[in-house]
Amino acid sequence: GAVVSQHPSWVICKSGTSVKIECRSLDFQATTMFWYRQFPKQSLMLMATSNEGSKATYEQGVEKDKFLINHASLTLSTLTVTSAHPEDSSFYICSARFPAEETQYFGPGTRLLVL
Amino acid sequence: GEDVEQSLFLSVREGDSSVINCTYTDSSSTYLYWYKQEPGAGLQLLTYIFSNMDMKQDQRLTVLLNKKDKHLSLRIADTQTGDSAIYFCAESIGNYGQNFVFGPGTRLSVLP
Q: What DSSP letter does each residue of B85-104 carry, written as one string?
A: EEEEEEEEESTTS-EEEE--
CB A29 within 8 A of CB A74: yes
* Segment of A6-20, A93-107, B15-29 carrying the highest mean pLDDT: A6-20
Scored b (16 or more CB within 10 A) or e, B29-45 reads bbbbbbbbbeeebbbeb
Partners of A106 on chain B (C-beta within 8 Å) are 35, 42-45
Is pLDDT of B94 > 80? no
Which residue is closest to A98 within chain B, CA to CA?
B98
Reported as a single tens digit per residue, the pLDDT across A27-67 is 999 889 999 999 888 889 999 999 888 889 999 999 999 99
Q: Provide residues of A within 8 Å CB-CB of chain B.
A: 1, 4, 6, 32, 34, 42-44, 46, 49, 93, 95, 97, 101-109, 111
Partners of A32 on chain B (C-beta within 8 Å) are 98
d(C-alpha B77, C-alpha B19), whole Å: 9
d(C-alpha A44, C-alpha A53), whole Å: 25
Q: What is the pLDDT of residue B54?
A: 94
Q: Do B42 and A97 touch (CB under 8 A)?
A: no
Q: What is the pLDDT of residue A2?
A: 85
Scored b (16 or more CB within 10 A) or e, A25-37 reads beebebebbbbbb
Sign of the C-alpha dihedral, residues A113, B44, B31, A57?
positive
Nearest CB partner across the interface for A109, out of B31, B41, B103? B41
Q: What is the pLDDT of residue B36?
A: 97
Reported as a single tens digit per residue, the pLDDT across B4-56 is 999 999 999 999 999 999 999 887 778 899 999 998 888 999 999 998 899 99
